[in-house]
Amino acid sequence: MLTGSRGRRLIALLFFLLATYLIVALAPTVSRLFYPIHYRDIIVEHSRQYNLEPQLVAAVIRVESSFNRDAESPKGARGLMQIMPDTGSWAAEKVGMSDFDSEKLFDPRVNISLGTWYLHDLHQNFNENPYATLAAYNGGRGHVKRWLDEGIWDGSRENLADIPFRETRNFVEKVEKAYRRYHQLYNEDDF
């Protein structure tokens, strides 16, 4: 029988080893609690439709609304992917959604459908540059086009600091971080 300080040290060591084992063994499961993918079926459906990675769409949703379908920004962006009503109306027209009204931006299916289409459109418009795509999603297509045309920003990850809008810089960095984390936690078999 172990007694005294030697026994307490051994018990503490065994507890530490057990805790370490549990943390390592459960890390992905615990991490998925902090990086969930709500509305997974809708995300996968529309990501596939527009040739986007579901992890990217989930990352945008996480950063934009934290998966809150009722989110509304002070500027009026709505829903999961924080789509402005004018952008939603324009995107709905482009995809042939004839019964659009801005309240539908709170519907996850409509919001993700229009948001993924918009991401795809920006991705094509900016020659598949993921950083310019994300910057345009947040800061506006016209601004990003001007920054690139005037040499204010070269569209690279290395020069994100050159993006004139702090909110847009932060958005791109946050989405990239969330995207990497989603890739670590969810693979193709999860979709």
- Identify the pLDDT of residue 2: 57
User: Is 64 an annotated catalytic residue?
Assistant: yes
Q: What is the pLDDT of residue 5?
A: 76
Provide the mean pLDDT of the chain: 91
| Confidence band, pLDDT 50/70/90 cuts, at residue 138 | very high
pLDDT at 127: 96
CA-to-CA distance for 188 and 190, rounded, in angstroms?
Answer: 5
Ranges 1-5, 43-47, 79-83: which has the least confidence: 1-5
Selecting among 64, 103, 176, 188, the annotated active-site residue is 64
pLDDT value, residue 36: 85
Token pair belonging to 34:
């902090």
Stretch 49-63: mean pLDDT: 97
pLDDT-based confidence at 80, cuts 50/70/90? very high
Confidence band, pLDDT 50/70/90 cuts, at residue 137: very high
Q: Name the band, by pLDDT with cuts 50, 70 and 90, for residue 191.
A: confident
Per-residue model confidence (pLDDT) at position 93: 97
Q: 14-18, 86-90, 134-138, 178-182: lowest mean pLDDT where?
A: 14-18
